[in-house]
Amino acid sequence: MQEQRQGDREHIDDAYIQLPDPAMVTASRPADHPYNFGSTTGMSRLLMAHPRIGPAFLGLFSQIMFEAGALSRQEREFVAAVTASVQNCFY
């Protein structure tokens, strides 16, 4: 059993991601960014750590939140806030 635990620990170590410094994320964000809360979210740092997928994810997010659709912008924000709260994700 001890061998399995050691193997699990090595697997966890392999999954570690070096996140960019919050100041780096803040500096890269436009001053008029709609989600500028004065702090840097872990999600923002995670997306910057992955330059291949980060921009694609942010593009999809922008389409979902800002382009015309069946829900108003306020309704979309409400859905996002409730979903985050249920998942104990406080941004």
Note the pLDDT tens digit of each residue in 61-76: 889 999 999 999 999 9
Q: Classify the phi-psi angles of 33: left when phi > 0, otherwise alpha if psi is within -120 to 50, otherwise beta.
A: beta
pLDDT tens, per residue, the chain with 91 residues: 445 555 555 555 666 788 888 888 888 888 787 777 777 888 888 888 888 888 899 889 889 999 999 999 999 999 999 998 999 887 6
What does the angle CA 83 – CA 84 – CA 86 come to, to the nearest 5 degrees? 65
Model-level pTM? 0.59
Cα dist. 30→24, 26, 74, 78, 83 in Å?
12, 8, 22, 24, 26
CA distance 27 to 41: 14
